[in-house]
Structure 1
Amino acid sequence: MLREIKSAYPVKDYHLILEFDTGEYKIIDLRQFLKGPVFEPLKDPSYFKQVKVDHEAGTVTWPNGADLDPDVLYSRSLPLRLPGEDIAQG
């Protein structure tokens, strides 16, 4: 199933909080993806924070054109749980 990312929030240590078109918020550690020349600039924390959502493609992107498949991001991310949130929900 094709997923689209609606918003993205960079957090410390190369993690993103992603809002998907399903209304779910998930968190992902992107360190596993930071390999190869196009992803090398993302290792700089200030550059990593320049993440934007490409609403046409439905995914995250950076100024150098680096992007990631939203379905991969969805399948490899974890549901975001707020403190005190019942784990049985969702």
Structure 2
Amino acid sequence: MKVVNSLPNYRLSVHFADGVTKIYDVKPLFEKWESIKVLEDATVLFSDVEVDIGGYGVIWSDDLDL
């Protein structure tokens, strides 16, 4: 994973190293993982998403990642 951008309606645009871009809907995860549910009420935090070091996931803070 090279780049991640937040999109409206709790979606992420993820750009992979091989040139592929995919859109992921994070909303279903609000029901699945309580730790991710905090993003539902924190749109500013959601927009601060970054690729983690190593490129294997995304992070919002030291305590919140996928």
- Classify the TM-score, shorter chain: 0.7 to 0.9
Q: Which runs of 5+ in 1 are unaligned?
A: 69-90
- Aligned length in residues: 64
Q: Which runs of 4+ in 1 moved over 6 A?
A: none
Superposed CA RMSD in Å reads 1.6
TM-fit CA distance, 1:64: 4.5
TM-score (norm 1): 0.61
TM-score (norm 2): 0.79
CA change 1:41–1:64 in 2 (3 A) is: farther
Determine the structure 2 residue equivalent to 1:51.
Answer: 49
Matching of residue 15 in structure 1 with residue 11 in structure 2: yes
Q: Which runs of 5+ in 2 are unaligned?
A: none
Corresponding letter in the other structure for 2:48: Q
Q: Sequence identity, in percent?
A: 27
Q: Which has the higher helix share?
A: 2
TM-fit CA distance, 1:65: 2.4
Q: Aligned partners of 2:22, 2:4: CA distance in 1, in Å?
A: 10
